[in-house]
Structure 1
């Protein structure tokens, strides 16, 4: 498409830079951390804290797309993003991402506390510099280490409510951190050709499909242990314990099916697609059950 034929950028292009689908999960887990803390907090401050988590996540997404604009242009599932499609220039995306980052951190510090603002800063910097700039183009372990970026929201939410980050907040962090590899690798299996074309060393590209399936099953085991830990350690009760056990059993069975799949084409990867879809539901329901359980125990 020629430049003259392209529609001018509008607010929807800036909104697309924030990766709204990813942001919805970030907002939810951040809210869960804030509510699970069971601390008295003014509704306006609580709303502002969650808003800051959303803005920080959006800023990180914008900076990620600014840095990876050329890479996104090589992949079918990202080629229509605002930057590779030419609807937005890179300088505008950079200014938007940096401005949103600074605003979200300052607002969090003023409205809630500076510990929450510090963790929000770390989460943005980790996603942009550690994951996007350093890990993603260099190692197949990018999503293992980089998964920490998406695990910060409940920690930030808890800090916003209490000014502290106790063991339970770190357990919520650990659940997301360990959930990220099997979740993302399931997706990467049926979009492997995109990563291969773009030269991104995702695990299915560097180690192959069979090894990635085994890794999904292997990494599911510590995820299950982390998900059961709040109940086992007495930080959650029977409501969470029962829901967590059921969810983890289903996740494990799906991971076993993935490990046993021998298909090499996307059309034969129904188990991977089912696991990816369920993994999103898994995290929403698991954290929802944790919040409900802690509110009952309050």
Structure 2
């Protein structure tokens, strides 16, 4: 279905006036909140580790720049995906397919916000952080949305880099560099994304099939997806402890990561043993996929909250590894 057909699909009678909430929804606020939170974790950790203190006003502007950049990428994504959003039930009420916001208006909003966010980041911090922010917007808005999503079942794996950049951007905003610790935080989010999203796709695979989007359950089936969820979870659990090994995180984080990683593995194993995503799968198996999806959000939030608590509130206690 051509993108230009989206506007013609909307019944003029069904069109409605856009509200402020519609423009907020264009920015994908739920994703934005997680993006901002992980960026703040990188910003706080960088100040603690390097001893460089960033002016609070500049730090707030840099954080706002990350939020605007995330919103810009979301608006560009909704502009491009308006045709498939109109097909899938769970996305058909979004601002563009519902007729509230014209597609060209969403694109203009995304492009303007992209430019403003990058400029703000440059002025508040440095060129490297601004470049990384620009790259993350392009990664999600162009590379993932336009090149990967409709072409390969590995779209989430490769495209996961877009959501993994925020802590690196936050670190760069403080120090003007991106050391190993920053990239470890990147790696945690990168490896977290596939099992998180594939748990959801097991529940929504019929929607993706209807829209002809080759998500893994559509292209290779539910069993292959469950196998991949378990495989990535097995890598993610120990990776979550990597900040302790490098000294970025301390005892509080280490204990938390150990417990959360174990729970994540148990939930992933339960999904692997289930029939979630298969035709006629019992409701209890679908609940297992829902449970993993819900817990995965909590997992990432708590891990990065521990980074902020340890490095920002003086709770850091180094772990000595013999």
TM-score interval for Structure 1 and Structure 2 normalised by the shorter chain: over 0.9
Of 278, 282, 295, the residue aligned with 2:299 is: 282
Post-superposition CA distance 1:169-200 (Å, at most 9, x none): 11000000000000000000001110000000
Shift of 1:5: 4.6
Gaps of 5+ in 1: none
Aligned to 1:138: 151
Rounded to whole Å, the distance in 2 between the matches of 1:19 and 1:5 is 23
Cα distance in 2, alignment partners of residues 73 and 35 from structure 1: 40
Q: TM-score, normalised by structure 1?
A: 0.97
Match of 2:7 in 1: none
Q: What residue ranges of structure 2 are gaps of 5+ in the alignment?
A: 1-9, 318-322
* Structure 1 residue ranges (4+ consecutive) displaced by more than 4 angstroms after TM superposition: none
- Is the 8 Å Cα contact of residues 181 and 246 (structure 2) preserved in structure 1? no
- Displacement of 1:3 in angstroms is 2.1
Q: What residue is the counterpart of 1:196 in the other structure?
A: 209
Give the whole-Å Cα distance in 1 for the aligned partners of 2:14 and 2:190.
Answer: 43
| Structure 2 residue 239 is matched with structure 1 residue 235 | no
Q: How many residues align?
A: 298
Aligned partner of 1:270 in structure 2 is 287
TM-score (normalised: structure 2): 0.90
Aligned to 1:224: 237
> Following TM superposition, by how much is the alpha carbon of 1:127 offset from its aligned partner in structure 2, in angstroms?
0.5
The aligned counterpart of 1:102 is: 115
Pair 1:30 & 2:47 matched:
no
Q: Distance in 1 between matches of 2:106 and 2:208?
A: 23
Cα distance, 1:232 vs structure 2: 2.1
Could you tell me how far apart the structure 2 residues matched to 1:248 and 1:127 are? 27
Match of 2:309? Answer: 292
Question: Which stretch shifts more, 98-107 or 1-10?
Answer: 1-10
